[in-house]
Chain A
């Protein structure tokens, strides 16, 4: 290590140049507080002349050091943070680096499964979230979630009560099968709110490696039982390794 430093110092001394601190700038990507209606987001950044490598962080996931200056991410609905910083030739890391926080809200009047795309280890249980994406005011919900039973096994389901209407009584029935789960939801005395919310989380046990698609089918109804059209029903995919 000591020899390396000496070599770098000699090199810089020979060229007569100075190694400054790295600085990174996000060239392309949603600005802070932006609402993005697309789940696929491309970030482009650039560093100053002293920056040799970059590291980016999406939410809490940190990348390896790379010389790439762009990344395209497929993100779930919801708030995300992105930051990128660089380091220079002698390994000095940028202290104040650019970061942005933005809301991916590509689905309106629909429902989705999250994660949209993710990888999991075959040794670990994983969870799929069923989310409401600003649906119209409605009283009844019906969902069918299907999966490949050769890849995963249903383990359990938990409903999130945090977004229920006040003074309303939720009525929930779940029918689970080997390759699907059917969910019936109602809110006696009130409607489901017109807002993004997590309806439930479904836990699975991986069985075999490979891709497993989670297909979401659903419908919502008003208080008279009339179907309300939905714009989007988005499933998800888990890659088991």
Chain B
């Protein structure tokens, strides 16, 4: 916000916005005959002569010396101020410099991320229309969440990068709460000292008039795809991999509080506390959806009506080979919250559930409908073949295999 007049008698003339006022600066010319400088501010036009009544500064000056002063008039948006500088010499002659200063608008919010809807609430981004000051950053906002009359206040850190500020709450926002961030106008200023214009009227009014409150709905802890529930999709696509790779972006523990209003105090490690936090919320989501986890013994394993995958669309079969006519050795855990299907083997058959291997669930038309886990390839009761038709006895690697189902071979993909 620097305004410099060309062809000036005075040097380095600038008018900078400072605390809602104008800071006027200049350097006198290197001339021993200089006597004084008169500065006149008008709104309608530049001054014609140094005798006009709107003088804001008049002082004797020394040659080649920097001067600055703060204009006492508060800035108002939408007004252009015209400063005229008269440099007066001993012989009465004067030179005239002019600077026109449009009043800038106070800083306002251009964009907020996340915009709305369900959020996890790890970090909030506010983009302003002006570079922001980092001073008082910790006092610039209030962060709390609530459900009913239960309110929880957070610590938070603020990072300012030019016109963007990032606010990260600690701990993670309480699950299922309504989160509120109040931006404090009197503390949140741009680099020129202008207070945040929270109500968007282009006038600096300070706190509490210009304070701005933004609300979000926090999703269930562990709901990484933000569909409102913790389910096997969150587990399979996010949490499990995060646990295996120790990726703290998906932390769900340690937690405090009661389900579903758990507060996650992130510690940077994916450990047992994260596992417990995730599973507790998963159980809560199952109860909230009114679903039962059912086991289906028998032959073949079918989805029944009312499931996401209707009966006629596909099936899974795993058979024992000896005797050939024996029923399916698996029972499935019907899990209706997503397409994911968890398969365990029948306990009587003493087959082990293997470490993570996956099996795509296929429709009759060959469409991939979901994934599942299934029994160990090392089991004597399950025969798995590779693409060359060789029996696989070792733990499965990524790739395509076939599983014998009756007289047919079904293709499956193993994903670790």
Q: Which A residues contact B (CB, under 8 angstroms)?
A: 139-140, 142, 156-164, 166-175, 184, 186, 188-189, 200-201, 219, 221, 223-225
Q: How far is the CA of A170 from the CA of B283 in the complex (A)?
A: 12
Q: Which of A140, A162, A171 meets B272, CB within 8 Å?
A: A140
Query: Are B347 and A173 touching (Cβ within 8 A)?
Result: no
The 5 closest A-B pairs by CB, nearest first: A158-B352, A162-B347, A142-B272, A186-B279, A225-B276
Q: Which B residues contact A (CB, under 8 angstroms)?
A: 235, 240, 243-244, 246, 253, 255, 272-273, 275-277, 279-280, 282-283, 286, 292-295, 333, 335, 342, 344-345, 347-348, 350-356, 376, 378, 395
User: Which B residue sits closest to A226, measured CB to CB?
Assistant: B276
Interchain residue pairs with CB less than 8 A apart (28): A140-B272, A142-B272, A156-B355, A158-B376, A159-B354, A161-B351, A161-B352, A161-B353, A162-B350, A164-B344, A167-B292, A169-B342, A173-B243, A174-B355, A175-B243, A184-B272, A184-B275, A186-B275, A188-B282, A188-B286, A189-B283, A189-B292, A189-B293, A200-B352, A223-B280, A225-B253, A225-B255, A225-B277
Q: How far is the CA of A160 from the CA of B351 in the complex (A)?
A: 7
Query: Are B243 and A142 touching (Cβ within 8 A)?
Result: no
- When distances are taken between beta carbons in the complex, the residues of chain A under 8 Å from B244 are 173, 175
User: Which B residue sits closest to A140, measured CB to CB?
Assistant: B276
Query: Are A167 and B243 touching (Cβ within 8 A)?
Result: no
User: Which B residue sits closest to A225, measured CB to CB?
Assistant: B276
Q: How far is the CA of A200 from the CA of B246 in the complex (A)?
A: 23
Q: Which of A140, A167, A201, A224 meets B275, CB within 8 Å?
A: A140
Q: How far is the CA of A172 from the CA of B347 in the complex (A)?
A: 17
User: Which A residue sits closest to B373, measured CB to CB?
Assistant: A172
Query: Are B243 and A184 touching (Cβ within 8 A)?
Result: yes
Query: Are A171 and B355 touching (Cβ within 8 A)?
Result: no
- When distances are taken between beta carbons in the complex, the residues of chain A under 8 Å from B255 are 225
Asked whether A140 and B344 contact (CB < 8 A) given A167-B295, A188-B293, the answer is: no
B234 to chain A, nearest CB (A): 12
Q: Which of B240, B283, B352, B355 meets A188, CB within 8 Å?
A: B283
- When distances are taken between beta carbons in the complex, the residues of chain A under 8 Å from B279 are 139-140, 171, 186, 188
- When distances are taken between beta carbons in the complex, the residues of chain B under 8 Å from A186 are 275-276, 279
- When distances are taken between beta carbons in the complex, the residues of chain A under 8 Å from B335 are 169
- When distances are taken between beta carbons in the complex, the residues of chain A under 8 Å from B275 are 140, 142, 173, 184, 186
Q: How far is the CA of A110 from the CA of B255 in the complex (A)?
A: 26
User: Which B residue sits closest to A176, measured CB to CB?
Assistant: B355
User: Which A residue sits closest to B354, measured CB to CB?
Assistant: A158
User: Which B residue sits closest to A158, measured CB to CB?
Assistant: B352
- When distances are taken between beta carbons in the complex, the residues of chain B under 8 Å from A171 are 235, 279, 282
